[in-house]
A and B are shown apart, each in its own frame.
Chain A
């Protein structure tokens, strides 16, 4: 993992603040299956949490702070596609082959992340289909939101599209 991350501490199911996050719908049993592979990680502002093209180390839930998902555009510099707010799931590529990040993830503020180790998460999901059935729709929702956001950005709704009559 890159950047200046501060600490990674294991968490128990009871310690994890599920409520108010995208993972809130998970059942008690499913939460307890995930807790052993969870860790909380802290980042300082500017830390590179995920790097585009590199293996995605974890599926994350932003617990506190703000993260920017950025694309590097040669000669134009970094371009922020979307920012994440507390409760948002990110790092969906941990579950989707080829398991490489599709953007940089950068801490804009001090950030706390609840991270589920990618490899172990894939193992758990392979073994427990009920957990998979509960978790995958949450991850798909996250992907769908990213897609919708990108489509709307593509429309450039607030831009001027043609010759104005007035």
Chain B
């Protein structure tokens, strides 16, 4: 039982949108579609499209391909509670017994058709001559019509449009599937107890995104066209105009549905309240209950995270990469090279999901990630109710309670983007490159010198990275360690199956590269300033290209210093290069974490290199790369030395699978590290830098 507005003091709901049933006149005025002619509408749609509609399946209402109206869930009603969904058939003659859609949204939603759980992503082939080909798979477009989409479904579609088609990168698979979708929406005449679209400003009225909108009343439907394509279909059915009484019924019905939904979530200010409570004890309490089963993310119509799996035949000649839905609740979701995970605890994962959905989604995509459909509540096996959790973790302050909600985007129709396939806007193509030379650096690390004439790869900037595809192996992100006139160098540490294989490649081998990706080091920030390049372990690789460039423009910088840390003397990278630069006068300071008696150089952690330094760093720009714990220690030392935080640049490691902000894995607060970074200034990161489990 939800608290009523009276005893929680939740303010008034967003204002309902204007009445669309009364807005159109003449030829465009709403029509009446008698129930017996629903099959005619379906047949008309089926002339050019497959039709998806709600059906009773596996004890629930789900979307499935249908051929005729009789397959729709006539007479069924649904009750939903936290952790429970029950279907019951209305008795013959009871109210609603003749209705097809009087049972809330289908639990599967539309997502499985626009963004299927599993799609072919790549095919990778190693031919007899050793050459490698990586091909991006594209689905054949299947014109599709959906009947029975609800306001929340349309809001979810608009939300996924913004994520998958609205950014600098467009998901080509989504764009194709989404491009020819015809939608017959139905306004809800009934809300379950988990529905809260009114709180999120997405329903129950259908405001935007549909071609045809239906209101189901006794004996048939009031139908209006909301698009040219929809008008064409309705005109072809030659329907009579809806009567004023029928329009009244359509209008009154959805108004009653709105009125039946209590204020559940105070969306105004939720973003700030949620992000101000990242340390709330309630997160631990949820983690005690949450099973990390990922049901909530799988039923959520806006969740968009995916993972790439590479499957191979036995000899590794042919392999396929499939992309499947992933969930931020899984243990491996935030795992990175070396095996660590950035969200080791269950509370971290739940917090990620809820704060993204209701908070940082705004920062990234300009809207809430929640449409108020309630699926995550109903399908949570332990009945965790996000409305309740939000009211505890992000409780509105008492003073706000009496104030009417200020106008926000929430009460307005969500803008629908028109997704279009824009070839080239997303770097999804892999380019085959050749290994010209392999330079062993340490026992487990090698540098691959790759040749290519691909203009995009050759335009790479220091700090950027590439996705590296080898048939039969997972596709790791690898930072570029040098940009050459005829190619790139990648320095790879053998830590897992893919990187071990890459590090063992010989000259002549081929591999696929996608990139360059990510934000480069902002070398211009250091113009006129003292440069400090600070690298720990393999962290020198992404800084090596920067060092090349800094040295090439040395007269722009009053001084250049390099600080290096390595695990042991044997783990130092680019030893002869560094020795040569030192011999030519470059100020390089080096320390190792541990050493035997034969090592006469420095031993101690990298911050020891700054011992005794004076706080005279105001004119320093520092570029830092290494394990995050090392970087935070370095940032502390640099801050002690008066280096301004906006001039300390780090490159962060997170799990990256797509590299273009579409798969979700590398999220850090309001950022996708792959797209918005991986290079950030310390002032940009703020408190997110040190917050555990974000």
Contacts and interface: CB of A to CB of B under 8 A. Distances in A.
Interface residues of B, number: 45
A20 B571 contact: no
Interface in B521-557: 536-538
Interface in B603-661: 603-605, 607-608, 611-612, 626-627, 629-630, 633, 655
Given A70-B597, A149-B608, A166 B497 contact: yes
Interface in A34-50: none
Contacts of B135: none
Interface in B554-587: 565-567, 571
Interface string A122-166: 000000000000000000000001001100110111111111111
B565 A158 contact: yes
B94 interface: no
A162 B338 contact: yes
A66 interface: yes
B362 interface: no
Interface string A11-27: 00000000011100000
A158 B539 CA distance: 9
A166 B499 contact: yes
Contacts of A64: none
Contacts of A165: 332, 335-337, 339, 474, 496, 655
- Determine which residue in A20, A82, A108 has the highest number of CB atoms from chain B within 10 A of its CB, and name it: A82
Contacts of A159: 567
Contacts of A161: 338-340
Contacts of A81: 603
A9 interface: no
B340 A83 contact: no
A66 B340 CA distance: 36
B612 A163 contact: no
Interface in B218-250: none
Interface of B is mostly: loop
Given A157-B627, A165-B339, A20 B600 contact: no
B180 interface: no
A52 interface: no
Contact of A80 (B338, B603, B630): B603
Interface in A67-108: 68, 70, 77-83, 85, 87-88, 106, 108
Contact of B612 (A79, A82, A85): A85
B8 to A, nearest CB: 44
Interface stretch (B64-72, B259-267, B414-422, B588-596): B588-596
A90 B594 CA distance: 19
B498 interface: yes
A87 B612 contact: yes
B536 A157 contact: yes
B611 A80 contact: no
Given A166-B474, A166-B498, A157 B596 contact: no
B515 interface: no
Contacts of A163: 339, 496
B339 A160 contact: yes
Contacts of A108: 600
B339 A162 contact: yes
B87 interface: no
Nearest to A142: B611
A109 B600 contact: yes
A106 B595 CA distance: 14
Given A157-B629, A166-B337, 8 more contacts: A70-B597, A152-B605, A152-B630, A156-B567, A157-B536, A164-B339, A165-B655, A166-B498
27 contacts: A20-B612, A66-B602, A78-B597, A83-B601, A83-B602, A87-B612, A88-B611, A109-B600, A148-B605, A149-B604, A149-B605, A152-B633, A153-B594, A157-B626, A157-B629, A158-B537, A159-B567, A162-B338, A163-B496, A164-B339, A164-B496, A164-B497, A165-B337, A166-B495, A166-B496, A166-B497, A166-B499
